[in-house]
Amino acid sequence: MINRNNLFVLCFLYVFALFAQAPPGYDLWLTYSKIVEPDISKKYSDISTSIAFLGNSKTLNIAQSELHTATEKMLGQTPTFFKAFESNHSMVIGTKNLLDPSLNKVLTKDLEQIGNEGFIIKSVLSQKKTTLVITANEDIGILYGVYRLLALMQQRKNLDNIALVDSPKIDIRMLNHWDNLDRSVERGYAGFSLWKWHKLPEFIDQRYIDYARANASIGINAVSLTNVNANALILTPMYLEKVKALADVFRPYGIKVYLTARFSAPIEIGGLQTADPLNEKVKVWWADKTDEIYKLIPDFGGFLVKANSEGQPGPQNYERNHVDGANMLAEALQPHNGNVIWRAFVYSEHDADDRAKQAYSEFVPYDGKFMDNVLVQTKNGAIDFQPREPFHPMFGATPKTPLMMEFQITQEYLGFSTHLVFLPKLYEEVLDSDTYQEGDGSTVAKVIDGSLQGQKITGMAGVTNIGNDINWTGHPIAQGNWYGFGRLAWDPYLSSENIAEEWLRLTFSNDDAFVKPMKELLIMSREAVVNYMNPLGLHHIFDTGHHYGPGPWVSELSRPEWNPVYYHNADENGIGFDRTPTGSNATEQYAEPLRSQLNDPQTCPEEYLLWFHHLPWDYKLKNGKTLWNGIALKYQEGVNQVEKMVSTWETMKPYVNKAQHKEVQMLLQIQLKEAKWWRDACLLYFQTFSKKELPEGVEKPTQTLEYFKSLKFPFAPGIRPRWN
């Protein structure tokens, strides 16, 4: 009977349950919402009611508890776990050495293919009974397998005759945090850094665990904790204790920790007079420092280094080169199986050559000279994470050196965490590009996964968009970029459409009336941002420093290649950067037949036209329009696409949590305002050169060019702090 007292208790429990739930967005794609379709729910319940979960380890315990939580939430049923397999169990989970010999035999061939991190999910007929088996060679494979099974269930996939054998195609699947020790994040738009250095090592924030869980669920197995514009303090004993605490949290989730190594650390924290990589004392200092780290963190991943780039110190300060610097660190790491990830993002104010050519010119001659445990991390394009760039010409051009892909997940040049842009579409475009370095079909994906040129170690890094915002990424939809990066790092051949669909189903709703239009919206969102910011191959016309909003007029910065005018070259004759043999000849860095294709404006893909060519305003585009009209119409198309996104989102109310729907709705309104700002500011500015009217269909600007030029944003987020 309900009396006043237990009514109070019931109310309390109800309110507690409400608040015990994570706030909307916090659960990312691990929502495990209830499966309401009775037939599907019944099938899944039958499979997961009695589970033989073999073995014991921290990693396996995580897998088991994930399965427990997820099935409870999705099916409203608590599975019973057993530590030994009997024929009445509906599911068996265990590494190969723990499986029943008869099962093991059936799966041997598959097990041989999947390496240390792969898994098998297979419906196996054994002793006249079907059992769902999840197996792997190592515990981490079991964890990945469990996450995949749960993702399939969330998407209501048919598991009846499942035979899934999967393993990652890339070894190091890594997030790069550009997080500073004061918890500011360079190019971070989702709050402060997750790492509470001040409270570590004693205080383990629940967020560290939830972060590791999210990463493991998509196969991310490495994180670099600190900004590449590095602070040497991270290598001091006080900070290393804190790093160890994080590494201990991440280890059972299969995640290795890397640190950024400031090249001048031997001077700054080691008391040496020099950081010359060939100096014996410097070598010993790094070797000792590395030993010290491995004593604390036996599975430490290694160092990520930005050297002689944008003011960071490096071997060139001592008349040495990148090989000298990287190999010196590689020697220190080699005894511990650690890696050096050396960044190729270099360009110099002392080099008058086109910035787009400099990394290739510097690094390609070093091919074959790096030690085996060095990977050269190369941004997807030769300039800097623009809304669209042709692939970096280094891909495929260093057959003896593993190139690690660097994508940016944080949206430095894509509207910060305000604009909805689904980045897997961008990543896919790069990965699918044919480098022709080893003949037709030499795609960037094949370079990165080592299958084209036989690299022994491979990697893909994403500069994260993660901060301490409740929803992790600032924009609710930007979670899909973290998710999509992880999926592509696991398998660079996945299609962005499939990733979009998966993520939408996992995160929001399985209803096709939601998934179909939203998938279209996500896929279109990338082209929209290109159109309203940088159409037809325009690039780097962002306002200075913070890169928020348009600044094509900026021309007075100390280094020529920091000025937008350097990139668009607009004048009365036309617009664009001539990178053909009549200009900087950057096209020579691409293999044939691509080089010739790019050299000719008639065969150069129009999306890269002004990247490679300076063309007159009345140049005729493929659609018969003049270049000026074409540019103007593209800007307008971008705005129209955002308008379409706004109206599609309006119809999504029934499928999305109210608070999140409102958030995205408000953000889309800002995006629309800013898309118009980009269109009007750029067209008014370029019009001063073209001296032509806006074509029909393009809305008239409501402000003057002077107004747009006068806008200043001294506190735009994500700017590099003064100390580094």
CB of 327 to ligand GCV, least distance (A): 21
Annotated active-site residue 324? The verdict is no
The DSSP element (H or E) to which 566 belongs, if any, is helix 564-568
Q: Which is nearer to ligand GCV, 134 or 228 (CB)?
A: 228
CB of 638 to ligand GCV, least distance (A): 23
Candidate list 66, 100, 179, 412, residue with the active-site label: 412
Indicate which residue of 166, 179, 384, 527 is catalytic: 384
Nearer Cβ to ligand GCV, position 381 or 474?
A: 381
Question: What is the full DSSP assignment across 377-417?
Answer: EEESSSSSS-SS-PPPTTTTT-TTSPEEEEEE-S-TTTTTT
- The site for ligand GCV (CB under 6 A) is made up of 178, 186-187, 228-229, 306, 310, 345, 384, 412, 720
Which residues contact residue 173 at a Cβ distance below 8 angstroms, ignoring those fewer than 6 apart?
A: 219, 220, 221, 222, 459, 460, 486, 489, 490
What's the min distance (Å) between Cβ of 469 and ligand GCV?
20
Shortest distance (Å) from residue 319 CB to ligand GCV: 23
Question: For residue 220, what are its two tokens?
Answer: 């991310």
β 163-166/119-126 pair status:
antiparallel
CB of 483 to ligand GCV, least distance (A): 23
Contact 631/590 with Cβ under 8 angstroms? no
Nearer to ligand GCV, 276 or 384 (CB): 384
Minimum separation from the CB atom of position 227 to ligand GCV (A): 6
Q: Which is nearer to ligand GCV, 178 or 617 (CB)?
A: 178
Task: Supply φ then ψ for residue 135, to 5 degrees.
Answer: -140, 170
CB 255 within 8 Å of CB 223: yes
CA distance 228 to 267: 18
Sheet architecture: strand order including 119-126: 80-82, 50-53, 91-95, 129-136, 119-126, 163-166
Looking at the Cβ atoms of 68 and 720, the one nearer to ligand GCV is: 720
Which of the following is catalytic: 205, 210, 268, 310? 310
**CA gap 668, 642 in Å, rounded:** 8
Q: Decide if 384 is catalytic.
A: yes
Contact 396, 442 (CB under 8 A): yes
- Shortest separation between residue 309's beta carbon and ligand GCV, angstroms: 6
> In angstroms, what CA-CA distances link 177 with 120, 410, 500, 593, 667?
32, 10, 24, 38, 24
Residue 112: Cβ within 10 Å count? 10
**Across-strand partners of 135?**
94, 120
- The DSSP-derived string for 260-323 is E--TTHHHHTT--S---TT-HHHHHHHHHHHHHHHHH-TT--EEEE--SSTT---GGGGT--HH
User: For this structure, is 412 an active site residue?
Assistant: yes
- How does 433-452 read in b/e, with b if 16+ C-beta sit within 10 Å? bbbbbeeeebbbbbbbbbeb
89/546 with CB nearer ligand GCV? 546
Minimum Å distance from CB 229 to ligand GCV?
A: 5
By annotation, the residues acting in catalysis are 310, 384, 412
